[in-house]
Amino acid sequence: MNLRCIVVGVDGSPNARTALAWAVALAAPGGARVVAVHALGLLDRIAGETVPTSGHRAEIVATFTHDWCAPLDGAGVGNDRLALDGSPADVLLTVARDLDADLVVVGARGASTAVAGAERALGSTSHRVVTEAGRPVLVVPATTGVTDA
């Protein structure tokens, strides 16, 4: 299968860093475009601190664009970096649908630590994306290295 568009969720968490590395590794051989997506909700994280998005929007977008997506710089893959309003699952599902993405890559767990039921193994975002995406989804745990790909 030739991948042309890979959407990846990026939230600054260790799992998201690993998911981005996998997206880049999968995109490079066939020249797929990587679309890094961050959802701006009511709260976000900057330097490990939870802050309200409303007063820190520009700082969060800059952190996403320049720090969290830094692995895209010089990776040799075409990429876009989208910071959009909404819940992480809603934003990822919408972008994947709108771009007709071939693959969605997410970390098993994101920045949130709240879990319940089946979401113990997967975070709420990855669980929802897997069940609703209607396209292949790669869920990457932080402990899985790209060298295993």
pLDDT tens figures, 28-59: 999 999 999 999 987 777 777 777 788 889 99
Task: Locate the DSSP E strands across the chain.
Answer: 5-9, 33-40, 43-46, 49-52, 79-85, 103-107, 137-140
Q: Which amino acid makes up residue 38?
A: H
Domains and CATH numbers, the chain: 5-118+128-142 (3.40.50.620)
Cβ atoms < 10 Å from Cβ of 134: 10
Q: What are the pLDDT digits (tens) for 104-145?
A: 999 986 554 444 444 456 788 999 999 999 999 999 986 655
Rounded to two decimals, what is the model's pTM? 0.87
